[in-house]
Amino acid sequence: MAAVSEPRSPQPPRYLAGRYRLEATIGRGAMGTVWRAYDDVVHRRVAIKEINFPAGMPAGEVGMLTDRTLREARAIGALSHPHVITLFDILTVEGRPFIVMELLDARSLAEVLKQDGPLRPGAAGTIGVAVAGGLRAAHDAGITHRDVKPGNVLVGNDGRIKLTDFGIARSADEPTMTVTGLLLGSPAYISPEVASGAPASPMSDAWGLGAMLFATVEGRPPFDRGEAIPTLTAVVAEPVPPHPHSGSLGPIIDGLLRKDPNARMTVAEAGRRLREVADDPTGMRAELARMVPVPAGRAGTGTASPPVRVPVHPPVRRAATPPVQPPPPWAGSNAAPLPALPATADRPGRPGWLLPVAALVVIAAAAVGYFVVRLIADWGGQV
């Protein structure tokens, strides 16, 4: 006789600080896990970033990683901008930091490119406007992002665009925190001067913006060689590869991807020029759902083409019977109504001005008839 197992009781929910109920994992990387959680105090869903310390990591590196996470919190907390993710709270639980942020129903731009393919220049320009605005706000606060890439740009299902993951950001008044062998930044998007050992600056973020735009329209970063060392070598030494699908974004990408930071286009200038290309010059809405693939005959031309959208027209309603004109005021009570005036849509060959002129004639005739009837009535009364 088989044994009957006792039903397992559900696991109690995991709480942080007695108020944040962890619901599900929504992201996981080499350095941390992102949870979807519910704030029982404010009654809203939030995103919580938890740092994962690899087993056997030396205490010194654990401390450095903790400080790096707290820098992310301070960096985000110092900003208030529609294109920067909002920070709500900072927690330390069992010696590990947790960052509580707004939860956006979104995909990263990297996921968009992987799932939907490259974007047209107009949509890429809208995202560029938003990212440039977020970077300018960070730079004005003395913060360098240092890791601008598609994976750190969130595109909401409602079209909102947010710059996130300031995990390696550094304020201008904080010392650089690195150890030998630790590369801060993604090799495919890192600037040549930082790859060569120079400190990061706002001009390094400008390079990252250019590399991100390149990847958005071409589907790949400009210098990716698969591994860190070959990629960094290409970033420093090789010319910028062609980007035939960039269209009117081409000059902006070329200006941002100049090797010499002193000759590089600034983020502010890029933002101004991106507004001239973007579908939405405000950068508030990226209409990715309406984008369709580039026709095969246009691929590789290097010319700008406007985004193709699915037309949405309201249904055309037609009256069951044509409307008729009432009889003029001088006609008798038993007079038949006047026939309806034909619509211009039914007579495409008729000039567009004919209907307004005909209407004016009818109105004028009605007015003259009215005064004639009044004149006859007045004359009859006098007789």
Question: What are the residue numbers of the active site?
Answer: 147
CB within 8 Å of 270: residues ≥ 6 apart: 128, 132, 206, 209, 210, 252, 255, 256
Are the beta carbons of 163 and 134 closer than 8 angstroms?
yes
DSSP assignment of 284-349 = S---GGG--PPPGGGTT-----PPP-----PPP---SS---BPPPTTS-TTPPPBPPPPPTTT-TT
Q: Is 376 helix (H, G, I), strand (E, B) or coil?
A: helix
Q: Rounded to whole angstroms, how far apart are CA atoms 130 and 83?
A: 6
One-letter amino acid of 211? A
Report the Cα–Cα distance between both ends of the chain, in Å, rounded. Answer: 122
Residue 221: closest CA among 201, 203, 198, 243: 243
Residue 252: closest CA among 149, 132, 336, 162: 132
Quote the strand ranges of 169-299, DSSP E.
Answer: 170-171
Alpha carbon of residue 299 to chain centroid = 24
